[in-house]
């Protein structure tokens, strides 16, 4: 059951990302002056979390993810992401493993033209987003009415933003992304997690800007 749910999450995220890339290949050419574009990113992430104990110590989950954003009109669009993270012996001798799939609206502001007056050469992107999805925790200990389980699922809410810098028309880096992540996996405490995730990586752009 755990493997089935985890596999479904991964397949859902992969489908969203591949669909965005395939859609970008069909974006009209420059002759039609389409404003639509797709931005893809692969990132390394670190998420600060808090132990559900009296001491309330903190630990870090580390991992990575991929995301895609389709910008449709004047910076407004949608984004979808798949992120996986792991923490070994998270303060209690128990590993924490999570996979999250989320999607929602994103606004992207583009600035800093490489050539004065050339709207197609904007190299700086600032974006903000709000995503809703699902997180799957596995290979851990999640208390329930029957004792404990090795896996659990929860709604996931992400809110944040980041900075992309493009070095060419297509390639760039995600200089920094910071997101507030709220989940509700059982932890024998409040059963709510309010974490901060920071990430950075590489980006690739398809379509027109």
Prediction pTM value: 0.78
Q: Can you give the CATH number for the domain in which 53 is found?
A: 2.40.160.20
CA distances from 8 to 17, 40, 102 (A): 14, 21, 13
Mean pLDDT along residues 155-163: 97
DSSP lists the bridge partners of residue 28 as none
Mention every residue, 6+ apart, whose C-beta is less than 8 A from residue 45. 62, 63, 64, 65, 83, 85, 197, 198, 199
Q: How many domains does the chain have?
A: 1
The mean-pLDDT minimum among 144-148, 157-161, 164-168 falls in: 144-148
Note the pLDDT tens digit of each residue in 100-138.
999 999 999 988 755 545 445 568 999 999 999 999 999
pLDDT-based confidence at residue 172 (cuts at 50, 70, 90): very high
Mean pLDDT along residues 64-84: 95
Mean pLDDT along residues 93-101: 91
Mean pLDDT along residues 44-53: 88
So what's the pLDDT on residue 113? 58
Mean pLDDT score of the chain, rounded to an integer? Answer: 82
The residue with tokens 């659990």 is 152
So what's the pLDDT on residue 145? 82
So what's the pLDDT on residue 141? 87
So what's the pLDDT on residue 121? 59
Checking if the pLDDT of 36 tops 70, the result is: yes
- Rounded to the nearest 5 percent, the helix, strand and coil shares of the chain are 15, 60, 25
So what's the pLDDT on residue 100? 98
List the domain range (segments joined by +) for residue 56. 2-207
């Amino acid at each position: 059951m755990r493997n089935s749910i985890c596999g479904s999450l991964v397949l859902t995220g992969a489908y969203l990302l591949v669909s965005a890339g395939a859609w970008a290949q069909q974006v009209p050419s420059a002759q039609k002056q389409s404003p639509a574009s797709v931005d893809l990113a692969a990132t390394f992430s670190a998420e600060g979390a808090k132990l559900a104990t009296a001491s309330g110590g903190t630990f870090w989950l580390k991992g990575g993810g991929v995301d895609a954003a389709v910008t449709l009109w004047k910076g407004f669009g949608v984004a979808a992401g798949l992120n996986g993270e792991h923490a070994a012996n998270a303060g209690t001798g128990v590993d924490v493993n999570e996979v999250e799939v989320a999607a929602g609206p994103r606004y992207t502001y583009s600035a800093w033209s490489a050539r004065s007056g050339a709207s197609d050469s904007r190299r700086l992107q600032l974006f903000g987003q709000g995503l809703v999805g699902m997180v799957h925790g596995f290979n851990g200990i999640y208390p329930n009415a029957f004792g404990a389980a090795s896996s659990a699922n929860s709604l996931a809410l992400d809110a944040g933003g980041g900075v992309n810098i493009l070095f060419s028309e297509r390639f760039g880096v995600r200089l920094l992304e910071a997101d507030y992540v709220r989940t509700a996996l059982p932890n024998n405490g409040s059963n709510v997690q309010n974490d901060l995730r920071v990430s950075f990586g590489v980006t690739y752009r398809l379509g027109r800007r």
